[in-house]
Amino acid sequence: MSVSYYTPEGFKNLKEELEELKSVQRPRISQQIAEARDKGDLSENAEYDAAKEAQGLLELKISKLEDVMANARIVDESQFDNSKVLILSRVRLRNVSNKMEFSYTLVAEAEADLPSGKISVNSPIGKGLLGKTLGDIAEIQVPNGMMKLEILEISR
């Protein structure tokens, strides 16, 4: 699995989700399996089969989340300079063609949330902005064609 970078807040959210899965959902599914088992013949017990399937899916999700956390790195924002666009950069941009201005914060894929202005560094726009400096024009291939974005400001 590859290394993923997280803000302290994003890593805390991952940790809380894993704890929820282990301490709340795992016991709940175990209880459902026990209740279904008490209902008799397991060969024709749909509740038992459904609970066992849910348990398998939950354990897979827990395992994947543990792998992500094992390979996660918490980004120390104080170590970055604002001379170029990096993960956790807040970037104010201007679309060259229509002169619209907008801002994005580049984050890890798991933390991306477009309505709150957080885009993944793995998205086409995120990849196109990485490494650019103030005043650069990033030419980014998007589904609608080529987009040109001028970098107006880089901050944390």
Tens of pLDDT, residues 71-92: 888 877 666 667 888 888 899 9
CA neighbor of 129 nearest in space, from 94, 80, 98: 94
Q: What is the DSSP string of 109-156?
A: GGG-BGGGTEEETTSHHHHHHTT-BTT-EEEEEETTEEEEEEEEEEE-
Percentage of the chain exceeding pLDDT 70:
94
Structural domains in the chain, sorted by start: 4-74 (1.10.287.180), 77-155 (3.10.50.30)
pLDDT exceeds 70 at position 1: no
CA neighbor of 128 nearest in space, from 149, 101, 99, 109: 149
| pTM (predicted TM-score) | 0.63
Tens of pLDDT, residues 94-125: 999 999 999 999 988 878 888 999 999 889 99
Contact 140, 128 (CB under 8 A): yes
Tens of pLDDT, residues 21-43: 999 999 999 998 888 888 776 66
State the helix-helix crossing angle for 46-70 and 8-20, rounded to 10 degrees: 150
